[in-house]
Amino acid sequence: MHVINNEPQFWFLLRAGDDLYLDLRVQASFAEYTALIRLSAEEKAEYAVSGHAYMIALAERLNYHVESHRSRNEYAAHGKRSHEAIMAWIAANPDAPR
Tens-binned pLDDT, residue by residue, of the chain (98 aa): 999 999 998 999 999 999 999 999 887 777 788 999 999 999 999 999 999 999 999 999 998 877 767 789 999 999 999 999 999 999 999 888 87
Q: Please, are residues 3 and 14 in contact by the beta-carbon 8 Å criterion?
A: yes
Q: Please, are residues 19 and 2 in contact by the beta-carbon 8 Å criterion?
A: no
d(CA 77, CA 48): 26
Query: Taking Cα atoms as reference points, which of 76, 78, 50 lies closest to residue 59?
Result: 50
* Domain chopping of the chain, boundaries: 2-92
